[in-house]
Structure 1
Amino acid sequence: MNIEPDDNTLKTDSPAWPMVGGVLAAIGASLCCAGPFVLLMLGVSGSWISTLAAFDPFRPYFIVLVVGLFLWAGWKIYRPLDPCSADGFCSVADNRRRYRMVFWLTSLIAAMLVSSPYWLVWLMA
């Protein structure tokens, strides 16, 4: 019985890719609103910062992408797995537990980024 997966199984079945994509899409969704605020807090200034507001029409598409990628990652993490498949690969509970912790942490970060236009107003007031 083989406990360790081969490299191809780990790369194609890993929920890490949709989580990374979800966080990147959340950054894209908050680029119009949180981007200028973060840049100003870091001391970066210039008239080009106002051009980040041009991303505002794409915000709904980024939000749909964030939700879709995190639903896909959640399905990959929480789907029931057989203890051992026909090819001898056995799922390891510690890996799934780590993926679940990372999933909820990245979901929280993505939710903060997507909702940033609403709570940044209170923070800046």
Structure 2
Amino acid sequence: MSRQNNAKSAGVTLLTAAVAAVTAGLCCVGPLLYLLFGISAAGFAGLSQLEFLRVPMIVLSLGLMLRVFWRLYFSKRLWCTGRLTLGQTRFLFWLILPFMLLILFYPTAVAWFYEVFE
């Protein structure tokens, strides 16, 4: 596999993980917007029907993030994007991971936050 294809594969994996993380939280976006901005969530009531997608998308997103972790630390294939070094890519991975986890688990995190700071 060429360097260009290797970089594209890694980018597609990260992008797919991000899309899966956002999709996993779609069912809860209405209450979150109401909570954050005080706007009416009536228009988002239909998004609660996407609740059945939450668990599969969480599994998909975590699986893809584990694949990227494995590629960054344990894979024998070279990781070369032409623009970023391996160290820079690892730094970006660790920078993005907390945000991805927060997006994935924000309904649980918000409930915990309110329970602790109530």
Answer yes or no: same fold by TM over 0.5.
yes
**Number of equivalences:** 108
1:99 corresponds, among 85, 89, 94, to 89
1:112 corresponds, among 65, 85, 102, to 102
- For structure 1, list consecutive stretches of 5 or more residues without a partner in the other structure: 1-7, 83-89
- Hey, what does 2:33 align to over in structure 1? 39
Q: Is the 8 A contact 2:30 2:41 kept in 1?
A: no
Choose between structure 1 and 2: higher helix proportion: 2
- Write the letter of the residue equivalent to 2:101: A
Residues 80, 61 of structure 1: CA spacing in aligned structure 2 closer, same or farther, 3 A cutoff?
A: same
What's the RMSD between the two structures over aligned residues? 2.6
Q: Is the 8 A contact 1:23 1:109 kept in 2?
A: no
Q: Is the 8 A contact 1:19 1:106 kept in 2?
A: no
Q: Percent identity?
A: 24
- Hey, what does 2:66 align to over in structure 1? 71
Q: Is the 8 A contact 1:19 1:103 kept in 2?
A: no
TM-score for the superposition, normalised by structure 1: 0.69
TM-score for the superposition, normalised by structure 2: 0.73
Using CA pairs below 8 Å that are at least 6 residues apart, which structure has the higher relative contact order?
1
- Hey, what does 1:16 align to over in structure 2? 11
